[in-house]
Amino acid sequence: MAQAEKTCDVLVIGSGGAGMCATVSATEAGAATIVVTKSKLGASNTSRAQGGIQAAIGEDDTTESHFEDTFAAGHDDGRPELVRTLTEAGPEAIEWLDRVGVDFSRDEGQLRILRCGGASRPRLLQAGERTGAEMVQALRAAVRASSADVWESSSLQSLEPEGEDWLAAIQTKGANAPRHVLARSVVLAAGGGLRGEADALGVGSTNHPDATPEVLRSAIELGAKAEHLDSWQRHPTGSVWPEPLSGYALPETTRSYGATLHDASGDRFVDELAPRDVVAQAIIDVVDEGRGVAAPNGQQGVWLDTAAIDREHGAGFTADRLAYVHGRYGKAGVDITAERVLVYPVLHYRNGGLLIDINASTSLPGIFAAGEITGGVHGTNRLMGNSLLDTVVFGRIAGRSAAEASR
């Protein structure tokens, strides 16, 4: 067995939202922590999340209502104790993010709260249009300000038990051989790996290029229990045309603000604010029934009437509230305030993964997990905005639990 060149209390694999939250929490608990990331700190699916983060902080909202919506949207397949942990921790998670520097959007001084698909009432908070990117910026600064040792351009090659500890081989880009780290506890926060799955299947995905599934698979090979691994979520409104934007997911807030879905005849065919799996399947069914619209390259989709937003709210609303989307399409020659756009579902999120408990413990002693690599939190369908909440709630729990276990 290889000799360890480095020791630590907590080794964090992955530096998306969950990994960075775990790192900050572990260091705050006094643990000597190393965080390993494939490329740059924060490069992840979290950075691509646009729509927002859910938490029951509205005057007419409750964490119980958030629990009920989340559990129902997951087809009652989520683990109730995990769903309750997620939703009850929502308000405090928002307060924590505010403290670390996430600048949430406000209207006339009040937090902007929107209703999104599958939610019974407005619950979605935003930090501009790219909430995930704003979270990453703040969390990256918090990690840099912590005592954590950050290993960029590095990846986990192997993980094996050594007594009560774990020996990890970490390969850094350009190095001749891996470095070996002996860790008292490990947090796996490397995501669900859907980009790798999508590439293998030859289908579109919204995932970051680093989102490959080898860490998830390694944990399962070590004996970690998992569930719902084959439950994948499609984002309903992946762009079909123009080609430079193929696969780009228009955020669900586009529909929250009033964009509607239409078949080739112009008929609406679904409640645009139904849960994601319902909307995605409705689009797929319409196309399969021959009611779709062909793009110039032959790819099929349906119309998303983005122009309906300004018709409802007044000229300039889209350019203000959806400036990023408006700008991306504008650069591609499409004015979404005057034209409809073609959309079709794309792979977006792995609903299942490593089974954890309310302390973020996996079935392997000393191994914790958080974020998209886990299962049981969302059931077999995830509500939009709950993924960012998941990274914060269970990322922080995993960091604290790992630090406590390392003592």
3-state secondary structure 333-348: CCCCCCCCEEEEEEEE
Does 328 qualify as catalytic in the annotation? no
Domain shared by 302 and 320, yes or no: yes
Is 197 contained in some domain?
Answer: no
pLDDT digits (tens, 9 = 90+) for 203-212: 777 888 888 8
What torsion, rounded to 10 degrees, do the Cα atoms 371, 375, 380, 384 define? -10
Exposure string over 258-273, b if 16+ CB within 10 A, otherwise e = bbbbbbbeeeebbebe
The CATH number that applies at residue 134 is 3.50.50.60
Q: Which residue has the tokens 């969302």?
A: 378
Q: What percent of the chain has pLDDT over 70?
A: 100
- pLDDT band at 375, cuts 50/70/90? very high
Domain carrying residue 33: 6-155+351-405
- pLDDT band at 197, cuts 50/70/90? confident
- DSSP secondary structure letters along 111-162: EPEE--TT-SS--EE-STT-HHHHHHHHHHHHHHHSSPEEE-SEEEEEEEEE
Ranges of H-type helices in 239-385: 253-256, 276-288, 307-313, 317-321, 323-331
pTM here is 0.91
Domain shared by 27 and 141, yes or no: yes
Is 245 contained in some domain?
Answer: yes
Q: Which pLDDT score, from 0 to 100, does residue 289 have?
A: 97
Among 326, 347, 368, give the residue marking a domain's end: 347
Q: Which residue has the tokens 């319409």?
A: 286
Q: Which pLDDT score, from 0 to 100, does residue 315 have?
A: 95
Domain shared by 337 and 370, yes or no: no
Q: Which pLDDT score, from 0 to 100, does residue 1 have?
A: 61
Q: Which pLDDT score, from 0 to 100, does residue 311 have?
A: 96
Tally the domains of the chain.
Answer: 2
Contact present, 347 and 197 (Cβ < 8 Å): yes
Q: Which pLDDT score, from 0 to 100, does residue 87 have?
A: 98
Q: Which pLDDT score, from 0 to 100, does residue 29 have?
A: 98
- Angstrom distance (rounded) from CA 16 to CA 134: 12
Domain shared by 120 and 250, yes or no: no
Domain shared by 286 and 387, yes or no: no
Domain shared by 55 and 141, yes or no: yes
8 forms bridges with which residues in the sheet? 183
Q: How many helices (H) and strands (E) does the chain have?
A: 13, 20
pLDDT digits (tens, 9 = 90+) for 305-348: 999 999 999 999 999 999 999 999 999 999 999 999 999 999 88
Q: Taking residues 45-54, report their average pLDDT.
A: 89
Domain shared by 53 and 80, yes or no: yes
What torsion, rounded to 10 degrees, do the Cα atoms 95, 101, 102, 103 define? 100
Is 360 contained in some domain?
Answer: yes
Among 347, 363, 384, give the residue marking a domain's end: 347
- Tokens linked to 17: 């939202």
Domain shared by 368 and 267, yes or no: no
Is 225 contained in some domain?
Answer: no
Q: Which of 79, 140, 234, 276 is catalytic?
A: 276
Q: Which pLDDT score, from 0 to 100, does residue 203 have?
A: 73
